[in-house]
Amino acid sequence: MNSTHVALAEAATAQTTTRLTFREAARAGLRDALARDERVFLMGEDVGHYGGCFAVSLGLLAEFGPERVRDTPLSESAFVGAGIGAALAGMRPIVEIMTVNFSLLALDQILNNAATILHMSGGQFNVPLVIRMATGGGRQLAAQHSHSLEGWYAHIPGLRVLTPATHEDVRGMLWTALEDPDPVLIFENAALYPVEASVPVEWSPVDIDHAVVRRSGSDVTLITYGGSLYKTLQAADELAAHGIQADVIDLRTLRPLDDATIFESIARTHRAVIIDEGWRSGGISAEIGMRIMENRFYDLDAPVERVCSAEVPMPYAAHLEQAALPQVAGIVAAARRVIGG
């Protein structure tokens, strides 16, 4: 291909794709939701005048006004509960909580109201609410801003738990979530916000019911989601250099779990490693591992392994924090162990 051909190819690409940060992709999803449906409004701490603590909602106040891009006081329980009430009364609220650690101040509302009212009312009141929040570590923010508690939320019947890892997912999942009649929690790994990628200019709601195989291989299944997807893909590259082909599953949704995609992969590879930025004990990795045991025990050629965060509150010092988080080397080592190489 000569240089003219390259230039033409790039021009063609430029018309159909665009470069966006993960943050900008999330913002595109929000802008679209606000423009498309008058019942949608965004509410949370510093979403308006400040532009969002991670600058996700930057510019939306000017575009949609303070009624629909609504700054709140630091009252997590009240404004999350208000989102539930507004959803009960005909609106389609998007509530932003700065980080998953702060969401614990609203846990009563999320569990005791959002997740229960449909059932407790005998099916009379559904709660079409979306709650977005940042999750994950790696930014030296220590033990009250860095945890990955999405697996906890996946414990709760009545909630849907989404963990977009790609730019297309963070942009498109919001649309699908807003069409869901029940409460949906979206966890955005904050370490991804500045990452750039190319995405199609044209887009539509994305499926939130299925996991996706991001890389195909027949030797070992690597199961992950969110911020750990990129480390896992990097680990798969390193494994390939050693002649090991990994199937990399991006779960995308932690509740309901797409068992079928996991089981189909294990039927081919007979080996699995689960990579989860959450803690190991009682976490989503434990749930996935147990489901594999219950359903695919006789397909396995080796015990399932896990690569999780260390069982420690997240430390501040960079070297300690990096030691606490799942890393490429640890994923490679676990995959090699289950293969016996």
Q: Is residue 139 exposed (0-12), middle (13-18) or buried (19+ Cβ within 10 Å)?
A: middle
Of the residues 24, 96, 145, 305, only one is catalytic, namely: 145
Of the residues 24, 45, 76, 305, only one is catalytic, namely: 76
Q: Give the contacts of 260 (CB within 8 A, at least 6 positions apart).
A: none
Of the candidate residues 34, 69, 91, 307, the single one contacting another protein (CB under 8 A):
91
Collapsed DSSP state (helix, strand, coil) of residue 133: strand
Contact flag: residue 205 with another protein (CB under 8 A): no
DSSP string, 20-55: EEHHHHHHHHHHHHHHH-TTEEEEETTSSSS--TTS
Contact flag: residue 153 with another protein (CB under 8 A): no
Of the candidate residues 157, 202, 298, 311, the single one contacting another protein (CB under 8 A):
157
Beta carbons within 10 angstroms of residue 283's beta carbon: 24
Contact flag: residue 119 with another protein (CB under 8 A): yes
Tokens in use for 329? Answer: 């080397």
Nearest of 251, 236, 263, 217 to residue 331 by alpha carbon = 236
Of the candidate residues 125, 238, 264, 302, the single one contacting another protein (CB under 8 A):
125
Collapsed DSSP state (helix, strand, coil) of residue 308: strand
Any catalytic annotation for residue 145?
yes
d(CA 226, CA 209): 16
Tokens 């051909």, residue?
Answer: 5
Contact flag: residue 295 with another protein (CB under 8 A): no
Contact flag: residue 148 with another protein (CB under 8 A): no
x/- site string to another protein, residues 230 to 269, per CB under 8 A?
Answer: --------------------------xx-x----------
Region of 25-33, 45-53, 120-128, 230-238 interacting with another protein (CB under 8 A):
120-128
Region of 117-125, 234-242, 269-277, 326-334 interacting with another protein (CB under 8 A):
117-125
Any catalytic annotation for residue 167?
no
Helices (H), 37-120: 60-64, 76-88, 107-108, 117-120
Specify the residue, 118 or 195, whose C-beta has the smaller distance to another protein: 118
Contact flag: residue 294 with another protein (CB under 8 A): no
Return the active site residues.
76, 145
Binding residues (CB under 8 A) for another protein: these are 41, 67, 72-73, 75, 77-91, 93, 108-109, 112-113, 117-126, 157-158, 160, 181-182, 256-257, 259
